[in-house]
Amino acid sequence: MRRYPRTIPTVLTPELLMRALWLYCDVAYFRVSVPNKVIDKTCFRLKSNINGLLQSRKIIEKCELDEVTKIEKYWIRMGNDFYPHMKICISMLPDRGKNGGSSPIFSVDTHDQHVLSVLPSDSNDWRAFYGIHKQNMKLKHNIEKRWKREGVPTEKWLLAGEKISDMPKKENYLPRHVLIADDEQHIRLVMKEILLLFNCDTYEATDGQEALDLAWEYKDSIAFALFDIMMPSVTGLTVVETLKRKNRLTFPYIFLSGMPRRQADPRNEHEFISKPFTKWLLIEKIKKIINKLNDDQTVV
């Protein structure tokens, strides 16, 4: 029985990149042969310079630097048996250690959220494409699970591998409820784990409509909210717009999304966290909100 590697790779190397690409292909293409254009992206020498590979248009489709988190992201278009646009996303997380540099985190970008966001949610096209989205999400889970097992660093592995002693100690914050809305269970679990450090209870929603219902029912006890932008039935943006329109948005909120910020929040008018995120970034955002709430409560 294969055991998980004991250490998480902290440096992106050609070997690690090739391993991630081939494991992706092994899971994503289980019905048909891997297309030649995808195979071509894996045909590089293991002695290649990694910076050169990240700048190669043959491999990298696009790259982006998040100005807020300073996380560099690289996308490699790989596709799968039934959807050609799924990508590998490599997030280079700034290292907090003395050596500086960046640590790689691999994730799968299904690249189908924008289609769902523009189609009317009550249309046949939306329902048909949502079926593809569900298949893509299942593949995403299986690929990232395989990566974790084979020693490719993923967000789940990073969070699972960190020590409890690294987490901040509980502060004397007043108990409060937080609304968390995300269709990915592991993201909700991470958020709940972090919120418990601040003595926060949670209301959980798995889609936008459920988030609306909870926000409506418990508006007087919700201190703040964490909304995924792309969710089934109703998006996080629509949740906020609906609550604002009905004068029911009585709490601050943070958006989370795997989409680039300029696409998810083009006006840069919301608190925003890009996925995959480190727990430290989420902790800092939550501390900022809770400190402000505590300060507001001390004002007479």
Buried b (16+ CB within 10 A) or exposed e, 196-217: ebbebebbbbbbbbbbbebbee
pLDDT at 28: 93
Third-level CATH fold of 163-298: Rossmann fold (3.40.50)
Residues in the chain: 300
pLDDT at 160: 46
pLDDT at 139: 92
| Element of type H or E holding 41 | helix 36-41
Q: Out of 152-161, 186-195, 241-250, which region has the weakest mean confidence (pLDDT)?
A: 152-161
pLDDT in tens, 253-285: 999 988 877 777 777 778 888 887 777 788 888
pLDDT at 134: 86
Give pTM, 2 decimals: 0.56
Q: What is the mean pLDDT of the chain?
A: 80
Domain ranges of the chain: 14-159, 163-298
**Judging by beta carbons within 10 Å of its beta carbon (0-12, 13-18, 19+), is residue 98 exposed, middle or buried?**
exposed
With bands split at pLDDT 50, 70 and 90, how would you rate the model's confidence at 69? low
* pLDDT over 80 (residue 107): yes
User: Higher pLDDT residue, 257 or 196?
Assistant: 257
User: Higher pLDDT residue, 32 or 67?
Assistant: 32
pLDDT in tens, 226-238: 999 988 888 898 9
CA distances 231 to 16, 211, 248, Å, are 32, 10, 20
pLDDT at 167: 38
